[in-house]
Structure 1
Amino acid sequence: MTRRLRPVELDFAASAPLRLVFSVEVTASPRAVYRALAEDVTGWPSWFTAVARATPTDGGAGREIRLRGGVRLAETIVATQPGELYAYRVDETNVPGLRALLEEWRITATATGTRVRWTFAVDAPAPMRGVMRLGRPGMGVSFRGAVRRLDRILARSTAP
C-alpha cells in the first residue's frame, strides 16, 4: 500500500525530529561526486548496493527508487547546487509509519578530494524513530561503503 508523506523542504534537514548524519572523505572531485548523485540517477545501483533501481521522473525533477527488499520511494528533488548540494524528499512510499523524509547530500572540497555528508531527516512516531536510531550503525556502514565504491568507480572512469 502506498502512503503519501508530508511535503517538506530543505530546512527539514535541520529541524526533523530524527536526524541521522554520516560523512566520509573520498579522493574524487566534488563535481564528479555531484554528477554521480544528481545527474547519473540510473547509475546509483552500481555503487549503492541497497538501491535496486533508480529512475528519474518528471523530466529530472523527481526520482523513483526501488530498494532491495521491496521498499519503493517516489521522490521530489528539493535542492541542487552543482558540486555542493543534492537533496530530495520522499512523497510516497510503501514503508508504514513514516510521516516525512528528506535526504540531503552535502559535498565539500577538501585538500585531498571531497567530504560527502548525508543527512537522513525523518518524522515518524516515537517507536519507529527508536528503531531507526538502533539501525544507525548499519546505515553508516552502508553509506560509507557506497560512497567508497563510488569513489573507486569514479577513479576508474577518469584513469588514463
Structure 2
Amino acid sequence: MSSSILRISIGALTAAVCLLGASGAGAEIIFCNSFGHVVNVAIAYPQSDGSFISRGWLSLSDGACAPFDTAIHVKTFYFRGESVQYRGTDGHMKRVYWGKGDKFAMWEKDNYQYYNARQRVYNSTLMEFTQGPISGGDDVSAKVIFTPDSAIIEIATSPAAQ
C-alpha cells in the first residue's frame, strides 16, 4: 500500500509572498534537503514575455543544499519537491510532495524543460507548485528547505533593506 502526503508551512507560504529588496549581485535560489530521504526539485519561473518555463529535476540527497541554476535571475519563482519512495516507520511505502497553488507542466519520468508551462505541454502533467518570494526590486534571493513537516522559505535581503 502506498500513501502520499502534501505538506507546506502556512507561515512560510505567507512569508514567501512578501515584497523584498534583495540584492541582485548575489541573487540565488537555493534548495536544501532536511527531510531524511532524497528530494527531487522542479522549478517554474516567468519569462520576459509573461509566459512561464518549468524545469526539473534537481536531486538533493539528505543534508545537501544546491542552487537550481545559478544563471536564473528572476523576481519570483515557483517550486515543487517530491521525495523518492521510501518505507515509513509503519512499514508502508510512502512518498511526500511539497507544492500547492499554481499548476505548471512537469514530467516525472525524466529531466524536462517546458515553455508556456502554465498549460499542458507534450506528455506533461499539470501539477501544483508553491510560489516563492516576490522581489520588489532586484532579482529574488531565497533558500527553500524541505523538512518532514513543510517547506521552509528563508528570504535573503540586502543590508540596506534590513
TM-score between the two structures when normalised by the length of structure 1? 0.29
**Structure of higher RCO (CA pairs closer than 8 Å, 6+ residues apart):** 2
| Greater per-residue helix proportion | 1
